[in-house]
Amino acid sequence: MWKVVAVSDFFENLFNHIHGAVTHFPIALPFVSVGVDYFAAKRPGLQGGAWLLLVLGSLGTVAATITGLVAHLAYEDDSVLLSAIDRHQYLGFATTALFVGLTAWSSMRRGDVGGSRAYLVVALVGLAVLALTGFLGGNLLTEWGIGVKGITR
């Protein structure tokens, strides 16, 4: 019997924290992709790796958006918490649109767009918006206590 409870606890825990787990990928991969792309100007062999990291990072932003939308449903009836979540949510949408757009652009040019100045400018804007999204996401937990089990002493 205790095994059934442990398994259901595990899935409840996983479901409640899946957004926080998924977000590591879209935060890390685009940063590494843009960094590798920068060096690919001197070492063209790196271009393919940068493109793959971009694709995986963009898939991660889509996964983060879906899991984030699911995570926020529990707070729909609280207008104060919802307004804090909204700022994070809209930046998350912008991050996703920017990186999916960059992936489409790069893929249409067979991954050779990376080194161009135009690409770098859009990518740096994307990284700034991504960083702000992640920062405000963390704030939802540390400043607002969303998704955090209280500690009693």
* Sites of contact with ligand HEM (CB under 6 A): 19-20, 23, 26-27, 61, 64-65, 68-69, 71-72, 85, 88-89, 92-93, 95-96, 133-134, 137-138, 140-141, 146-147
Give residue 113's Cα distance to chain centre: 23
* 36/88 with CB nearer ligand HEM: 88
Crossing angle (nearest 10°) for helices 47-72 and 79-108: 160
* 107/139 with CB nearer ligand HEM: 139
Closest distance to ligand HEM from the beta carbon of 82 (Å): 9
* 14/121 with CB nearer ligand HEM: 14
Closest distance to ligand HEM from the beta carbon of 128 (Å): 13
Closest distance to ligand HEM from the beta carbon of 59 (Å): 11
Q: How far apart are the first and last CA of the chain?
A: 30
Q: Which residues contact 55 (CB under 8 A, 6 or more apart)?
A: 103, 107
Contact 102/126 with Cβ under 8 angstroms?
yes
Closest distance to ligand HEM from the beta carbon of 121 (Å): 20
* 40/85 with CB nearer ligand HEM: 85
Contact 92/100 with Cβ under 8 angstroms?
no
Q: CA–CA separation, 55 vs 97, rounded Å?
A: 13
Q: CA–CA separation, 53 vs 1, rounded Å?
A: 44
* 40/71 with CB nearer ligand HEM: 71
Closest distance to ligand HEM from the beta carbon of 2 (Å): 27
